[in-house]
Amino acid sequence: MVYNLPAYDIVGTINCDEYKDNFVDLYLAIKKLYQPAYEPNQRILITSTLDFYKESHGLILQSLQTIVNNVDISNYFICFVTTNKNIEQEYAYVLDTYSTDPVPFNIQCIDGEFTRLSGSSIRPYRKINDLDQRNNDIKDLTKKQKDLLFNSKNFCILPWISLSIATDGGVAPCCSYRGDTGDASKDSLKDIWDNSVNQDIRQRMIDDLPVDGCKQCVFEESLGKGSLRTSSNTTFSKYIQIAEKSTTPDYNLKYVDSYYNNLCNLSCRICSHSSSSSWHAPAVATGKIDKSTPVFLKAGRSDTDLYDQIFEQLDNIDRIYFAGGEPLIINDNYKILDELSDRGRYDIELIYNTNMTQNQLKGRSIFDAWKNFTNITIGASLDAEGARANYLRTGTVWEKVVEFRQEMIRLRPDIDFFISCTTSLINAVHVPDFHRSWVEQGLIQPEQFNINALNQPSWLCVNTAPEYLQEQIVEKYQLHLEWLRPLDRHGRASAGFEGIIERLNNTVKFDPQAFWNNILPLDKYYNANLLDNFPELVDLPQ
């Protein structure tokens, strides 16, 4: 390729043609050239002699623009050299429609052959959780649609687009719903989708009447906070027409919450056998379940039933939430990724809650299975570090967790990663230390920390802390917030710590009997000791 650029200092050159099959690698190549600031004369040179077409503009060009914005490089520092004779017109559209930066790339069209390929099966790079995209979706709504989504007290989009399936076969519109709207051990997901319970829920929501199962969201909103309902109405606003049309929508799943298998390698103190197969032995030994209870729980009318039903819906689905047991050791989840790869569905949103202890299955790395997927979000269930982590989440090898995160930063810096820290009476004092330590080790940015306040079992909740401990927690959290607030751009991490302080206003008396009767038998079973790991609890009443 012969071109004649002004005397720029080129910091790196990327040939777009080499990335036509893999937009994740294009992202990584551009990310490598990222600098917090460029000298006025510095430029990144990007060349292209081919593109894919569905509409009037190239899909690689569109992806490139989205990636440059995503990596947060100003268009000003991009020199785009192409043999595409129509580039001026195409780029004008791409800049107007997809760029968050009004300044254009510096474009040069040069002589040479340009190949136009069919893009019918190509999905351009798109960050689904991109705020600008969401704002765009919302901008185009009618007043009536906005009223339903944002002003109604009871309307939620999820019953029109989503199903959540638990290990006992219980099906609901989402994971926050209290109760079931069907039983996947008996009925197909389609029959459940169409049943009268779900139709009634949808009708009540359209009429803005309260729905019994939606108590959790109502409760959170009553505290002046957002809820799964409010966030889903924003995230999925583009589906509002489905809800407007009918309370018997076509069975086209857009979002699936997959909890239907309890296979897990850990037995976390906060968890139970219904979510973790590794809880079976300790639960039997401590009399929590009968030993005749099966170790492995998997919903569905047969071993492969739910996988088969989800498989059938893969073309419709925009988002899958893999939540366990432990999603990274469940073979079905890898099979789903492979099928999505075969269908070129790299744009699908993959959301995980994972314990971060296993990054491969049967010798296959999860990074291999994730290759090419552009929208991956990881909520890492980590609540403490070092030996404390193994106490809370029995079976954790802490060094492996840290290695996994380091590998993720190295191989997939584009993954939207945050810690989902379940905060209880046991780890409350330690949580700020853990947060700060991960920030100082460069494993997360300060804002990548989400606090999930434990609600069940009640004897383990942070607001049962005795007064002296509450004072310690509040003092420590306030100090931590002084450090955190200036670093926490969107206030997400700060809101978690503030939420715990708020929760302490609603004190429930510490129940020593319930607490120690649950802790000590398990300590004995695991040959562990709470106070060795969390010495700050030494004065808890016995």
Residues of the shown chain interacting with ligand SF4 in the complex, contacts defined by CB under 6 A = 264, 266-268, 271, 275-276, 324-326, 355, 381, 393
Partner in contact with 493, chosen from ligand SF4, ligand SAM, none, beta carbon below 5 to 8 Å by kind: none
**Toward ligand SF4, which CB reaches closer, 63 or 422?**
422
With contacts defined by CB under 6 A, name the span among 194-202, 449-457, 468-476, 503-511 that binds ligand SAM.
Answer: 449-457
Partner in contact with 452, chosen from ligand SF4, ligand SAM, none, beta carbon below 5 to 8 Å by kind: ligand SAM
Partner in contact with 454, chosen from ligand SF4, ligand SAM, none, beta carbon below 5 to 8 Å by kind: ligand SAM
CB of 324 to ligand SAM, least distance (A): 3
The interaxial angle of helices 59-71 and 87-98, nearest 10 deg, is 40
CB of 274 to ligand SAM, least distance (A): 9
Q: Which amino acid is at 239?
A: Y
Element (H, E) at 419: strand 416-423
Q: Is 358 one of the binding residues for ligand SAM (CB under 6 A)?
A: no
Q: Is 452 one of the binding residues for ligand SAM (CB under 6 A)?
A: yes
Q: Is 104 one of the binding residues for ligand SAM (CB under 6 A)?
A: no
CB of 267 to ligand SAM, least distance (A): 11
Q: Is 355 one of the binding residues for ligand SAM (CB under 6 A)?
A: yes
Element (H, E) at 244: helix 240-245
Q: To 5 degrees, how large is the angle CA 498–CA 500–CA 501?
A: 65
Partner in contact with 83, chosen from ligand SF4, ligand SAM, none, beta carbon below 5 to 8 Å by kind: none
Q: Tokens 């498989």 appear where?
A: 311
Q: Is 156 one of the binding residues for ligand SAM (CB under 6 A)?
A: no
CB of 288 to ligand SAM, least distance (A): 14
Binds ligand SAM (CB under 6 A): choice among 324, 432, 446, 496:
324
Q: Which of 369, 351, 349 lies closest to 359 in space, CA to CA? A: 369
Compute the distance between CA of residue 168 and CA of residue 164 in angstroms, rounded to an integer: 12
H helices of 246-373, in order, are 280-285, 305-313, 331-342, 366-369
Q: Which of 225, 233, 178 lies closest to 205 in space, CA to CA? A: 233
Q: Is 170 one of the binding residues for ligand SAM (CB under 6 A)?
A: no
Partner in contact with 420, chosen from ligand SAM, ligand SF4, none, beta carbon below 5 to 8 Å by kind: ligand SAM
Q: Is 188 one of the binding residues for ligand SAM (CB under 6 A)?
A: no
CB of 268 to ligand SF4, least distance (A): 3
**Toward ligand SAM, which CB reaches closer, 249 or 325?**
325
Q: Is 325 one of the binding residues for ligand SAM (CB under 6 A)?
A: yes
CB of 269 to ligand SF4, least distance (A): 9
Compute the distance between CA of residue 366 and CA of residue 130 in angstroms, rounded to an integer: 24
Task: Report which DSSP code applies to 507.
Answer: -
Q: What tokens appear for 197 in the block?
A: 């319970």
Q: Which of 387, 461, 396 lies closest to 422 in space, CA to CA? A: 461
Binds ligand SAM (CB under 6 A): choice among 162, 353, 374, 423:
353
Compute the distance between CA of residue 522 and CA of residue 540 in angstroms, rounded to an integer: 18
Binding mask 255-294 for ligand SAM (x = CB under 6 A): ---------x-----xx---x-------------------
Tell me phi and psi for residue 58, to 5 degrees: -70, 140
Partner in contact with 530, chosen from ligand SAM, ligand SF4, none, beta carbon below 5 to 8 Å by kind: none
Return the HEC string of 21-82: CCHHHHHHHHHHCCCCCCCCCEEEEEEECEEEECCCCEHHHHHHHHHHHHHCCCHHHEEEEE
Q: Is 108 one of the binding residues for ligand SAM (CB under 6 A)?
A: no
Alpha carbons within 13 angstroms on the beta-carbon side of residue 264 total 33
Alpha carbons within 13 angstroms on the beta-carbon side of residue 297 total 25
Compute the distance between CA of residue 536 and CA of residue 483 in angstroms, rounded to an integer: 22
Q: Is 333 one of the binding residues for ligand SAM (CB under 6 A)?
A: no
Binds ligand SAM (CB under 6 A): choice among 257, 326, 385, 414:
326
**Toward ligand SAM, which CB reaches closer, 95 or 356?**
356
Query: How many residues of this chain bind ligand SAM (CB under 6 A)?
Result: 18
For residue 118, the Cα-to-chain-centroid distance in whole angstroms is 32
Chain residues that interact with ligand SAM, rule: CB under 6 A = 264, 270-271, 275, 323-326, 353-355, 381, 420, 422, 452, 454-456
